Chains A and B, each alone.
Chain A
Amino acid sequence: MVLPSVGLVATGGFKVETKVRVTGLRKRYGTNEALRGVDFSLQAGEIFGLLGPNGAGKTTTLECLLGLREPDAGTVEICGLDARRFPSDVKRKIGVALQSTALQDKITPREALDLFSAFYLEREPTLRLLERFDLVAKADAAFETLSGGQRQRLALALAFVHRPEVVILDEPSTGLDPQARHELHAEIRRMKRDGYTVLLSTHQLDEAEALCDRVAIIDQGRIVATGTPHELVSTAASGHVVRFSASRPIDPAALKRIPGLQRLRCDGLSVYFETEEAATVVTSLMGLLAADGAVLRELDVKRCSLEDVFLKLTRPENNSVSLPA
C-alpha cells in the first residue's frame, strides 16, 4: 500500500519511507528513444544499484533525476518533492558525485568544500569532511596535484557538504586503482551505516553485488529486472555455471541429452551450460566423455552470479544455445 502524502510504503507491519520514486520516465533524442518508461523506487536507508550496459539509458535516467535533462514524460519524486516542479528544493535534498568531477586546476579541497557548502543553508563543517574523507593532508593542495583516488574522495565529500538525504553516485569507481576502489567501497558501506539512501549507477557488477541492497537492470531504455542481487540470481539464472574443455570436440546432440542441462553453448573445444543439479550433471558429463574417448582438460563449476544474470538479461542471444556448424 502506498501512502502518497508522505511517500510511505507499508511492509509487513512497519512503514518504510520512499526516498526516490521514478515513474514512466521517457526521453527521446531525435529518433532514438533513450528511455521507454523507466520505473523504480528507493526506500530510505538502502543502497540501490542501477546497472546497465553502455547506451542502456543509465546516464539519461540519472540526468533526468538530477535535473540536468528534461524528460519527455514521467515523474521523478525525491523526498516527496516533484523534481520537475521544485528543482531547487530537490537539490538541497540530494548529494551528487558525478563520474568525472573535475574542478579548476588551482582550487584546493578546502576551498572547494567551502565554496560548495556556501551554496546551501545547512552545512557540514569543512574540517569534519576533510577528516571523514581522509583529505586533511591534502586540504591545501591544488586539485591538479591530487591522485585519482583523492579526487574521487573529494567528489564524495562535495556530495556531503549539506547533509543530504539521498546520495547519488554516478559510476564512482571508474578509473580508480584497486586500493582506491577498496576505500570507496568502504566509504559507501559507511554511508549505509550512517543511514543515507544511496543510488549507485555502475557497470561493475561485482561492485553492485557487494554493495547494493537492491538493483535494477536497465537495458534499451527499460528496467528489465529489479530486486536484491540474490533474488535476481535465483530467479533469472540457474544455480550453477559449468565451463569445460575436452581433448576433442564433443557432439552437442549428445550433450543435450544430459538431463538438467540448460543454456548450452559450444565453441570449438569449450562448452558452457547452466544447471541446478551440478553434481549429477557433471557425473553424467564424465561418463559421456569416457564413452566418447575424450579426456577432460579443464573444468570450472561455480554458482551463478549477478554478472551471469546481467549478461542473460542484456544480451538475449546468451539465452539460446549456439551450436557449431
Chain B
Amino acid sequence: MNGLLEHLSQSLRLHFRNRMGLLYGYLFPLIFLVAFWVLYRHEKIPLIRHMGELLTVSVLGGACFGLPTTLVSERERGVWRRYRLTPLPTWAFVVSTAVSRYVIILSAAALQLGLAFSLGMPLPAHPLALWCALTMVSFAFIGLGLVLAMLADNVPAVQALGQCIFLPMLIIGGVAVQLASLPSWAQHVSAFFPGRYAVEALQACVSGGGLASIDFCLLALGLIGVSGCSAGAKLFRWDAAQRFAASTGKLWLVPVLGAWFAVGLIAELRDKIAVSIDGVTVAAPVAAIPAPVPLPPWAKITAKDVAALDFRVPSDGGVVSPFAGPEEEASDYTKDEVEAVRQGLLTWRPGLEGDDVQRVRNLVCVAAVPDSIQQPVERYLPPVVLSYLQEIYPKDKLIKILTWIVLHPEDGSVIDSIADLGVQGTAGDPAIVRERSYLYALKFIMRLTGRIDG
C-alpha cells in the first residue's frame, strides 16, 4: 500500500512539473471553454447547457491522450521495465496510474467549472451527482486510455489511435455536435460510443434531473470502464521491446469492444436512442422506416392568428400585470431577488421539462405568480422571463407558443409558487395565475411583434 501511495503521489508531482502535461491537461480545456463562451456569447446560449460536452472533452483528452502518452513514453524510456524489477504487483501500478489520472482529470474539471462560474454560469443543479458522474465518465475513459497505451507501441501510435477514438466520438458520438443535429443513422451509431453517455450523464447533473435520470448512462459507462480497466491490466506491457503484435492475451480486446457493442445493443433494445433537446425528449427518427413527425398544434399558428389577438391589456405601470420598462432598474431591496431568479431560471426544472407549451407556460408563471400575490419584485420579473424565453427559443416559435397559450388559457397546468427561485409566497387561486399568465403572454407577444418597445 505504501508503494502504491508513493507511486501515486510521485506521478502527480511529476505531472505538475511537466509543462506539456499542464498545457494539454489544464490550459487547453480552459481555452476551449473561453473560446466557446466568446463565440456564442452574442447568441446568449448559456454555458450551463453545454457543460456536459465541455467536461466530456476534458475527460476524453486527459484519459485517452494524457494517460497513454505518459504511460507509453515512460515505457519507451525503460522506466516501467525498472518498475517491473520491484516486488510491487502489476495491479498496484495500474491502480496507481489510473487514480493519479483520475485526480488530474478531476482537478482539470474543477478548474473548468470554476472558470465557467466566473463567466456567469450558475452552480450545477446537482453538485454531488456531478462528481459521481465525473467519476464514472473518468473510469470509463481511463479504462479506454489504458487499452490504448497497451495497443500503442510508441507515442506517435498513441496519437494515431487516440484520434481514431476521439474524432468519431466528437463528430458522430454526441460529444461536440449535439445528437439532435445529427442524422438518424448517426444517432443510432452514437449509442455504441461512450461519449454520448458521458455527455448525457454530466449534462443531467449540471442542468437536468441528476443521477436518477441517467441510470442507463451510468450502467453503460460502468460496463465500458470495467472492461477497459480489466483488459488494460491483462494486456499490461512493461517493456518497449514487447510489441503488441507479438504480445499474448490479444483476445482481451474482445471484452472491450464487446462492452461497447453490448451497450449500444441494449440501448437499441430498450429504446434508449431518443435524444434530449434542452430537456425535451425527442425520439430519434428510425432510419429504415422514416415515420412522419406530427407537427404540434401550436406550430399551425399563423401570423393572421397572432394579429387577431385582443391586445387590450392593463397598463404596464398598473397594479395588474405590471411590467418594468427597459430603463427601469430594480430597487436595492429587490435587485438581489431579481438576480437570483435570473440565475435560477437556467436550471429551473419546470422550465426544462415537458413539452414546449408547458415549459413556456411554467416560465410565464414566474411572472404571473408574484403579480398574483403582489410581491415587490413583481414588475421586474416579466422582463427577466421574456429575456430568458428569447434565449432558448427562436422568435417565431416563441410567438406561436405564446399565442397558443393565449388562445388556450385553461390548458395544461400552472405553478402556484416560485419559492424554489427565491420568491416566497403561494398563489391561493390557480385561476388568478392563469389570468395573469394570459396577460403576460399577451404582453410578451406585443413586445416580440413590435407592438410595444422593449
A residues in contact (CB < 8 Å) with B: 66-68, 88-89, 91-92, 94, 96, 98, 100-104, 106-107, 111, 114-116, 118-120, 158
| Min CB gap A269→B, angstroms | 46
The reply to whether A101 and B2 form a contact with Cβ atoms under 8 Å apart is no
The reply to whether B87 and A120 form a contact with Cβ atoms under 8 Å apart is yes
The reply to whether B87 and A107 form a contact with Cβ atoms under 8 Å apart is no
Q: Which B146-177 residues have C-beta < 8 A from chain A?
A: none
A301 to B304, CA, bound (A): 119
The reply to whether B81 and A68 form a contact with Cβ atoms under 8 Å apart is yes
| Chain A to chain B contacts (Cβ below 8 Å), 8 pairs | A91-B85, A96-B85, A102-B77, A107-B10, A111-B13, A118-B3, A118-B5, A119-B86
The reply to whether B79 and A103 form a contact with Cβ atoms under 8 Å apart is yes
A43 to B157, CA, bound (A): 46
The reply to whether A111 and B10 form a contact with Cβ atoms under 8 Å apart is yes
Given A102-B77, A107-B14, is A115 in contact with B7 using a C-beta cutoff of 8 Å?
A: yes
The reply to whether A119 and B84 form a contact with Cβ atoms under 8 Å apart is no
The reply to whether B81 and A98 form a contact with Cβ atoms under 8 Å apart is yes
A309 to B74, CA, bound (A): 40
The reply to whether B87 and A91 form a contact with Cβ atoms under 8 Å apart is yes
Chain A residues whose CB sits within 8 angstroms of the CB of B255 once the complex forms: none
- B46 adjacent to chain A (CB < 8 Å): no
- B118 adjacent to chain A (CB < 8 Å): no
The reply to whether A120 and B78 form a contact with Cβ atoms under 8 Å apart is no
- B296 adjacent to chain A (CB < 8 Å): no
The reply to whether B78 and A101 form a contact with Cβ atoms under 8 Å apart is yes
Choose among B2, B7, B17, B81 the residue that contacts A106 (Cβ–Cβ < 8 A).
B17
Chain B residues whose CB sits within 8 angstroms of the CB of A101 once the complex forms: 78, 82
A18 to B87, CA, bound (A): 22
Chain A residues whose CB sits within 8 angstroms of the CB of B7 once the complex forms: 115, 118
Chain B residues whose CB sits within 8 angstroms of the CB of A67 once the complex forms: 84-85
- B394 adjacent to chain A (CB < 8 Å): no
A91 to B13, CA, bound (A): 27
The reply to whether A66 and B85 form a contact with Cβ atoms under 8 Å apart is yes
Residue of chain B at shortest CB distance from A117? B6
Choose among B79, B81, B86 the residue that contacts A91 (Cβ–Cβ < 8 A).
B86
* A100, A107, A116, A118 — most chain B CB neighbours (10 Å): A118
The reply to whether A106 and B18 form a contact with Cβ atoms under 8 Å apart is yes
- B88 adjacent to chain A (CB < 8 Å): yes
The reply to whether B82 and A158 form a contact with Cβ atoms under 8 Å apart is yes
Chain B residues whose CB sits within 8 angstroms of the CB of A68 once the complex forms: 81, 84-85, 238-239
The reply to whether B87 and A102 form a contact with Cβ atoms under 8 Å apart is no
The reply to whether A103 and B82 form a contact with Cβ atoms under 8 Å apart is yes
A96 to B84, CA, bound (A): 11
- B412 adjacent to chain A (CB < 8 Å): no
Q: Mark B1-35, 1 if CB is under 8 A from A, else 0.
A: 01101110010011001100000000000000000
Chain A residues whose CB sits within 8 angstroms of the CB of B318 once the complex forms: none
Residue of chain A at shortest CB distance from B4? A118
13 more A-B contacts (CB under 8 A) besides A102-B78, A158-B82?
A67-B85, A88-B87, A89-B87, A91-B86, A98-B78, A98-B82, A101-B78, A102-B77, A103-B77, A106-B14, A107-B10, A111-B10, A115-B7
A115 to B86, CA, bound (A): 11
A116 to B86, CA, bound (A): 8
A102 to B18, CA, bound (A): 17
The reply to whether A118 and B6 form a contact with Cβ atoms under 8 Å apart is yes
A-B interface, 3 closest residue pairs, ranked by CB to CB distance from nearest: A118-B6, A119-B86, A106-B17
| Min CB gap B401→A, angstroms | 59
The reply to whether A102 and B79 form a contact with Cβ atoms under 8 Å apart is yes
A53 to B3, CA, bound (A): 38
